[in-house]
Amino acid sequence: MMNRRSFLAAAGSGFAASLVPSAADAFERADAIFATAYRDEDGGYGIATLTDAGRLIDRYQLPERGHDIFWHASGEMLVAFARRPGTFAAVIDVKRRKKPLIIQAAEGRHFYGHGCFDPAGKLLYATENDFENARGVIGIYDVTNAFRRIGEFDTGGIGPHDMVPFPDGYHALIANGGIETHPDYPRAKLNISTMRPNLTIIDLRDGRIVALNQLAPEMHKLSIRHLAMQADGTGWFACQNQGDIVMPQPLAGKISPDGEIKLMETAMSTWASLRGYIGAIACTKDGSRIAVTSPRAAVALEIDPRHGRVLKTHHLEDVCGVIARDNQITLSSGTGFFAGKRHQISFDNHITRLGI
């Protein structure tokens, strides 16, 4: 995995040189580099890079609100996806040698805000909505040809949100949230009564759906939205309850590499404390610690999934971003906290780590 030193080697000393002295110093001292979308105090949007100690390294403007962000394997560029139902993705040169490249969503498609690169860094995949046909697709973009869209795969469901690659790099886990939306009615949910989310495993080489799994029918209003991946290929998923949250339901679970789903076992009061909503999920490499955030409950939980025991509870207003590094959990919030440090910007829902 790329760390700060290998990033420096890849991106070149020009990156540090491009920073203001205080940021260059923060960068030099960091053990890990993160990126996240933000809104600034003037209502503008952008991407921020920060250290594991919560120190701001740099900021890049975006035309509209971003959602998830991905580092290219070279460490030289970041891709930020617009928040659903967004129609752009921005490719940012972290050394600012080039102007940001804006990828417009294809006709009849919009982005859902998540995606990933292939292991060689030659292709970019994005979760998208074929909204006229209420069909989820993975848009495929050629990194080597100015991110030209060269095709798409069916995701096997409606409303794909997060996608994460398996460790082999050739398969991806897709969270089809199940909720139909259309730009004619922005952010209106058109099929709550009949929604049926699922998790699919897709072979990214040919688009073949290797596995498709659903939760029990009585749990059909649990929209599966966010994902995390262990080193051994065990995936973790997190849900948002679109039904009556007075009756709590399990909101997270795992999926084995061969597609078997198991809900996380923990006390119902733990699920209730999340107010039916997980905004992001992270897991340590070995899966011994799962972290989930609920901005609606202003709480983040670190859970040992083997026993369902809550190891740590963080109370933080508008907390959502979460990422795991070794056994460390880093959180961010809409109130400006990142790794415990307060900034004058609102951090968006997700954090990505350089090299992940």
Using the minimum distance from each CB to another protein, give the nearer residue, 171 or 314. Answer: 314
* Pair of tokens at residue 97: 């040698």
| Residue 252, strand partner residues | 238
The answer to whether the CB of 221 falls within 8 A of the CB of 240 is: no
Minimum Å gap between C-beta 101 and another protein is 24
Rounded to the nearest 10 degrees, how much is the dihedral formed by the CA atoms of 89, 337, 323, 186?
Answer: -40
Minimum Å gap between C-beta 93 and another protein is 27
Tell which one of 5, 97, 187, 306 touches another protein (CB under 8 A): 187
Q: Which span (71-79, 163-171, 181-189, 203-211) binds another protein, by CB under 8 A?
A: 181-189
Minimum Å gap between C-beta 196 and another protein is 14
Give the C-alpha distances (Å, rounded to integers) separating 238 from 4, 19, 45, 88, 192: 29, 37, 26, 25, 18
Pairing, β 148-154 against β 235-241? unpaired
- How far is Cα 354 from Cα 264, in angstroms, rounded to an integer? 28
Phi first, then psi, for residue 292 (nearest 5°) are -130, 150
| CB-facing half-sphere around the CA of 103: CA atoms within 13 A | 30
Using the minimum distance from each CB to another protein, give the nearer residue, 94 or 297. Answer: 297
Q: Which of 123, 118, 189 is nearest to 158 (CA)?
A: 189
Rule CB under 8 A: is residue 197 a binding residue for another protein?
A: no
Rule CB under 8 A: is residue 272 a binding residue for another protein?
A: yes
Rule CB under 8 A: is residue 133 a binding residue for another protein?
A: no
Rule CB under 8 A: is residue 110 a binding residue for another protein?
A: no
Tell which one of 59, 296, 325, 341 touches another protein (CB under 8 A): 296
- How far is Cα 118 from Cα 141, in angstroms, rounded to an integer? 10
Tell which one of 184, 206, 218, 258 touches another protein (CB under 8 A): 184
Minimum Å gap between C-beta 188 and another protein is 5
Tell which one of 53, 190, 310, 356 touches another protein (CB under 8 A): 190
List residues binding another protein (CB under 8 A). Answer: 39, 67, 83-84, 113, 182, 184-188, 190, 192-194, 225, 240, 243-248, 269, 272, 275, 277, 279, 295-298, 313, 315, 317-320, 333-335, 346-349
